[in-house]
Each structure stands twice: as structure tokens, then as C-alpha cells.
Structure 1
Amino acid sequence: MSNDVVVVHTDGGCRPNPGPGGWGAVLRHREHVREMYGGEPGTTSNNRMELMAPIMALEALTRRVVVHLHTDSTYVRNGITKWVLGWERNGWLTAAKQPVKNVDLWQRLQAACAQHEVEWFWVKGHSGVADNELADELATRGMQEAIAAASLGV
């Protein structure tokens, strides 16, 4: 069973927040490693980029697998493991009856998770976990490309 586990590390961010942003993901399955990154040259947020990373990683998988997904975002981990079902049940309103922020991405993440058996793990950012550090570097690359695209008006 452990051979069928895909281990994913994700990260995202933007500078300034809100502003242009980037996301990164590292996917490992047996000896195979895939690095992914992207960015948003418009105005986005750290939370949106933190959500895009696992969405893009999960959507890239071509068959149903067990995924161990590591994020340094408590927002993403708590949102998908604790809050999302209540939000959905309440018509995508928070407990304070306010619209859920980033509902489009939460729904997309929910759909991506439904295609796999996902177990979520929180990892402290910048704590020396190699694949988390690599995901951070990839997110920075995505953000730098987004900033460059924004400056060119792309």
C-alpha cells in the first residue's frame, strides 16, 4: 500500500498581500518526483495561493491514489478537514452568517479531494523539511514570474 502513496508538499504566497502571488507543489511517488508551480499576476492573496497549490497538485494526478498532503497553512488544513462541510451545509456561509472567502477554491479543492484518498498533514514552514522548502522555492518562482508578468502588463 505504501508504494501507492503520493506524498505532496505545497506552499503559496504573495508579495505584497494582497498582490501578485505564486504557488508551488512537490509530488513524490516511489522514485518519481514532479515539481509544479504557477502564479497570478493580478491581485490575489496568500490564502488563495495556499489553496491553489494543493488544488493543482491533486488535479495533476491521473488516477485515484492515496495522497499524504503536507501544507504549512493551518487555513488550508483546518478549512478542508474541519470547516468545509459546515460551510457547505450552511449554504457557504460562516458561523457568523458571512459569505465564505475563496468559496470558488474551496469547492474546487473539495472536488479534487473527492477523486483521491487524501490525508492532510500540517508542517511548520521554514523548519528544514526538504520538500516543504522546495515547495516554498517553487511558490517564490511562481510569484516572481507573476510579478514580472504584472510589470509587463500581461
Structure 2
Amino acid sequence: MKKVAIYTDGACKGNPGPGGWGVLLKMGKHEKELSGGEDDTTNNRMEMTAVIKGLSALIEPCEVELYSDSKYVLDGITKWVEGWKRNGWKTASKKPVRNSDLWHELIDVAGRHEIEWHWVKGHSGHPENERVDKLASDEAEKVGIEDGED
């Protein structure tokens, strides 16, 4: 299996509001940036979308080192999701799981790969995290301008 590092981030201008996501894929000397945005979203949805888009960009099963500054995404996929499945996609307080559409998509794309999940502190000078933060922020800004936010 090929080894790939994926760095992801999401951003939102307002929460909800215009949002963006950014991804950096690294394999050996090769790098690829991906980014996009939505006009009415939340920060958590953009964080999840970044991970989904990064994993979906891989055309074959890979060994993935995935880096995110989102505890929501990392805890969700590594700790909470099995309980949600057992509880019929309800939280411990019996409420529907938020963003279940994206959780289902993430489970599907993650299942194709062997993934090591890593948390990185946001805005702490981590070069790749700063890079994907800029991609996500730029997309959120662009979507906001297109929607007449500024």
C-alpha cells in the first residue's frame, strides 16, 4: 500500500455562515492541494468535508497519516461513532447525531484505507496545518464575497 499524509482544515465566517475547507496530500516528494467552500454551513461540517475530500481523492487503498486540528472529527470517528451506530444514530442524550450525513460518508471513505488519526494544535505554527488553514479561510472568504457578505 502507498503511504500518504493528509492535512485537513475547515473554516467558517460566522457559524453558521460561509465556509471553506482545505486539504494537503503528500506522498513522497509529491504534493496536491484541494479546497472548496459552501455558502451556508458550519465549522464542523467544513472540518468533516475536508477529511472526506482528502480521503476521497485517493484512487486506491492507502496507508494514511491523517492530521486535523478538529477534536470533533477525530473524537467522532475514533471514539463516538460506534456508540452512535449502536444507538440508532442518537447521542447519549437520545438526540439525533448532528451531521449524520457526513459521518456516514466519512465512515464509507475511511473504510477503504488504513488510517492513523493525528490531532495537531491549530494556529500553533505547524507548517502544513497553517497551509490548509489558509486554503480553508481563503475559500470561506471567497464564498462570503460571492454571496455579498462583504
Q: Same fold (TM over 0.5)?
A: yes
Check the 8 A contact 1:5/1:66 in 2, yes or no: yes
Q: Amino acid of the residue matched to residue 40 of structure 1? A: E
Distance 2:147 2:116 in 1: 36
How far did 1:142 drift? 1.3
How far did 1:82 drift? 0.3
Matches within 5 A, 1:50-129: 50-129=47-126
Distance 1:79 1:65 in 2: 21
Distance 2:77 2:90 in 1: 15
Distance 2:138 2:11 in 1: 11
Q: Taking structure 1 as the reference length, what is the TM-score of the superposition?
A: 0.93
Does 2:51 align with 1:20? no
Q: Which residue of 1 aligns with 2:29?
A: 31
Q: Amino acid of the residue matched to residue 148 of structure 1? A: I
Distance 2:122 2:76 in 1: 18
Distance 2:145 2:50 in 1: 20
Distance 2:45 2:28 in 1: 30
Distance 1:117 1:56 in 2: 16
Q: Taking structure 2 as the reference length, what is the TM-score of the superposition?
A: 0.96
Q: Which residue of 2 aligns with 1:9?
A: 7
How far did 1:75 drift? 0.4
Superposition misfits of 4+ residues, deviation over 3 angstroms: none
Distance 1:97 1:138 in 2: 36
Q: Amino acid of the residue matched to residue 44 of structure 2? A: N
Distance 2:130 2:84 in 1: 32
Residue-pair matches, total: 149
Deviations 1:72-114 (A, max 9, x none): 0000000000001110111100011100000000110000100
Counterpart of 2:118 in 1: which secondary structure? strand
Runs of 5+ in structure 2 lacking a partner? Answer: none
Q: Which residue of 2 aligns with 1:150?
A: 147
How far did 1:148 drift? 2.2
How far did 1:146 drift? 1.3
